[in-house]
Amino acid sequence: MKKIIIASTSTLHGGGYLDYLTDTLKEHFKSCSSLLFVPYARPGGISHDDYTKKAAEFFSSLNINVKGIHEFENPVEAVQNAEAIFTGGGNTFLLVTQLYQNKVMDAIKTVVEKGTPYLGTSAGSNICGLTMETTNDMPIIYPPSFDTLGLIPFNINPHYLDPIAGSTHMGETRETRIKEFHQFNPQPVLGLREGSWLEVNADIITLRGSLQARLFRQNTEPEEIETGTDLSWLK
């Protein structure tokens, strides 16, 4: 039975790391005393060790012991033996490259589908979708594939950003980029604003947090989704 939190961001402006999710994570990981952290996305180039320390600090307040996947000699076994898994944000291209190079993409998919509780933030949420093709990140490294975990039957756009009124910048808006994605790909894209997350319980997918999310479907006008909405029908 799947048990997944897919969060747009780890941190809200002015808040501490994972702070806004504390109550949710207490409940989500209530049966766990340890957690495997996947630091591969290395935000800002931070080291695996330093990133793992940051996650460990937060989870110590929940009495959960954190170990980084890079500390294990056999990362596939580490995934298979994990009580819970958290993939942190950073660069999605780097994350996906490392997941493939260490052969843990399939391993994570298998255990999470069987019920290992999973948390993803930002890049760690992006990989829960069918592909990483709706990431906002810079392609700093060439991954073997853009296919990701497919734990949900659509794609995620984390840190979803509405067009900025009055902007004079001519770069594409997020909405234009997702429209371009739909020229070549059929799956829906859920734009998760910072502060929103998806809660997956078995086959029920629910939008959580105080904000609406923006849903993009091929050949359809984008629509706003209310928090609390059951999105299990979406594919």
Q: Specify whether 122 is catalytic.
A: yes
Query: Which CA distances in Å does 104 have to 43, 52, 77, 78, 164?
Result: 20, 18, 9, 9, 38
Nearest CA-CA partner of 198 in 83, 80, 28, 68: 28
Q: Which of 8, 28, 137, 196 is catalytic?
A: 137
Residue selected from 23, 165, 168, 228 as contacting a copy of itself according to rule CB under 8 A: 168
The verdict on 179 binding a copy of itself (CB under 8 A) reads yes
Task: Compute the least distance from the CB of residue 58 to a copy of itself, in Å.
Answer: 16
Number of residues lying near a copy of itself (CB under 8 A): 44
Nearest CA-CA partner of 65 in 78, 48, 52: 52
The verdict on 141 binding a copy of itself (CB under 8 A) reads yes
For a copy of itself, the closer of residues 20 and 118 by Cβ is: 20
Question: In this structure, what is the dihedral angle of CA atoms 3, 138, 104, 54, given to the nearest 10 degrees?
Answer: -70
The verdict on 28 binding a copy of itself (CB under 8 A) reads no
Residue selected from 1, 14, 31, 228 as contacting a copy of itself according to rule CB under 8 A: 14
For a copy of itself, the closer of residues 24 and 229 by Cβ is: 24
Q: Specify whether 159 is catalytic.
A: yes
Nearest CA-CA partner of 3 in 33, 34, 24: 24
The verdict on 150 binding a copy of itself (CB under 8 A) reads no
Helices (H), the chain: 22-28, 48-60, 75-81, 92-101, 105-114, 123-126, 174-181
Whole-angstrom distance, CA of residue 167 vs CA of residue 75: 45
The residues, any chain, with a CB within 8 Å of residue 65's CB and separated by 6 or more, are 33, 34, 35, 56, 59
Considering only the stretches 4-12, 49-57, 100-108, 196-204, report the one whose residues sit in contact with a copy of itself under the rule CB under 8 A.
4-12
The verdict on 137 binding a copy of itself (CB under 8 A) reads yes
**Taking CA 197 as the corner, what is the angle to CA 195 and CA 198, rounded to the nearest 5 degrees?**
165
Residue selected from 66, 86, 188, 194 as contacting a copy of itself according to rule CB under 8 A: 194
Q: Specify whether 145 is catalytic.
A: no
Residue selected from 94, 107, 128, 200 as contacting a copy of itself according to rule CB under 8 A: 94
Residues marked active site are found at 122, 137, 159
Chain residues that interact with a copy of itself, rule: CB under 8 A: 9, 11-14, 42-45, 90-91, 93-94, 132-142, 145-146, 159, 161, 168-172, 176-185, 194
